[in-house]
Amino acid sequence: MVSRRIVLAVALATALSAPALAQQLAPPAVPDLIVQKQVFDMPSYTTLGGQTIRNVRVGYQTAGTLNADRSNAILITHFFSGNSHAFGRFAPGGPPGYWDAIIGPGKAIDTNRFFVISVDTLVNLNTGDPNTTTTGPATTNPDTGRPWGMAFPVVQIGDFVNVQKALVESLGIRRLHAVMGASMGALQAYDWAARHPDMVGRIVPVIAAAEADAFLIGWLDLWAAPIRLDPNWNNGDYYGREPPNRGLATSLALVTMHALHADFINATFGRQPADPARDPAAALDNRFRVQQFLADAGAARARVSDANHFLYLVKANQLFVAGGGTGAEGLARIRAPTLLLYAPTDLVFLESAVERTRAAIAAGGTRVEAHRIEGPRGHLNGIAHIAPLGPRITAFLTQ
């Protein structure tokens, strides 16, 4: 029973880092696109808040070939708990990237035509994943020789974008054909278009609005609360000690629950007990199947994640306004044609918030298309059910 629960947890909840779900939903077999993880180094970076971080490192991967004038580059930006593994495999038969269904040779984002780049963010969650490279609280502060912990500067979505800009420019790219990302990746796409309008040809924000409103800020605070309540968190000073993985696992379970839709949860789990021999009515510790799924899923993700990085990501998302300033100012700077892909059943970025974003961008005269992503998984439709939108993505990228 325990092994069966763990398999279910990994199969569903790692949809937030997505290789398992991507593999389930991938199109018919084609030759593997093999990618290599690379690392971009910056001697120093000054944050939007004016603090300097030395020895910044972020990982990235690419596929395809830059054309002669370097005008065919597409940047893929990742979601809250993701990393740069958006496409391809690191070895034949290995787990595919989370958007492998739409990125690769002959796919919606055709790597025979485009040079595709995907980058790990600063304070990336997946510090225990060997295929993630990031700088954040868990990495060494060169001034002390110890992990940064909570002394790491507060970073914003705009800082993620500015580091990406430095990487893109190091590759000799002066203008991106497109920027595309899901959820927190969509925030980065909006920010690219608002902060660096001359560098972006078009954007494809998926399952996200262009501002963290009060409703989302409150939800993000709830995501973070279990970490802060875990005594092992110790105000962020836990490196070299027992980490606050119980709190982190609960936080990740909250993310999973929020990202899925009620109809999917109900259809998948119903009111079944986790163990048929242990009636939930007989004891407080006897669980329903959905409870056990969330606990196992959170624990599995916590083993490769870092609690402080989670908190810094929460803060970056709470602070987000496209381009800085007020939302209206940032959106008014977006000149790049925009393809908004949204899930009507999304409980993280509500359809009403996406509609406000669409209207605000269009009010400035920018061309905006909006299309629904259908599927049962709510917010996660932007990962799990993106493939049917492939023809619209291709048309938008090539017009």
**Catalytic residue ranges:** 183, 346, 379
- Asked if residue 181 lies in contact with residue 74, where contact means CB atoms within 8 angstroms, the answer is no
C-alpha span between 226 and 66 (Å, rounded): 45
| CA 333/CA 244 separation, integer angstroms | 41
Distance, in Å, from the CA atom of 58 to the CA atom of 78, rounded to the nearest integer, reads 13
347/45 Cα distance (integer angstroms): 35
Which pairing describes strands 338-342 and 203-206: parallel, antiparallel, or unpaired? parallel
Q: Would the CA dihedral through 162, 166, 172, 178 be positive or negative? A: negative
d(CA 296, CA 92): 29
Structure tokens at 34: 């093999």
Answer whether 331's CB lies under 8 Å from 358's CB.
no
Dihedral, 198, 204, 205, 207 alpha carbons, nearest 10: 180
In one-letter notation, the amino acid at residue 220 is: L
Q: How far apart are CA 88 and CA 268, in angstroms?
A: 29
Using H for helix, E for strand and C for coil, what is the string for 177-237?
Answer: CEEEEECHHHHHHHHHHHHCHHHECCEEEECCCCECCHHHHHHHHHHHHHHHHCHHHHHHC
The DSSP string of 267-286 is HHHTT-BSSTTS-TTT-TT-
Residue with tokens 């492939």: 390
Strands 140-141 and 146-147: antiparallel
- 97, with CB counted inside 10 A (0-12, 13-18, 19+), is buried
Q: What is the signed CA dihedral for 300, 301, 303, 304, rounded to 10 degrees? A: 140
- What are the two backbone dihedrals, phi and then psi, of residue 109, each rounded to the nearest 5 degrees? -100, 95
Tokens 């973070």, residue? 224
Contact yes or no for 17/83 (Cβ under 8 A): yes
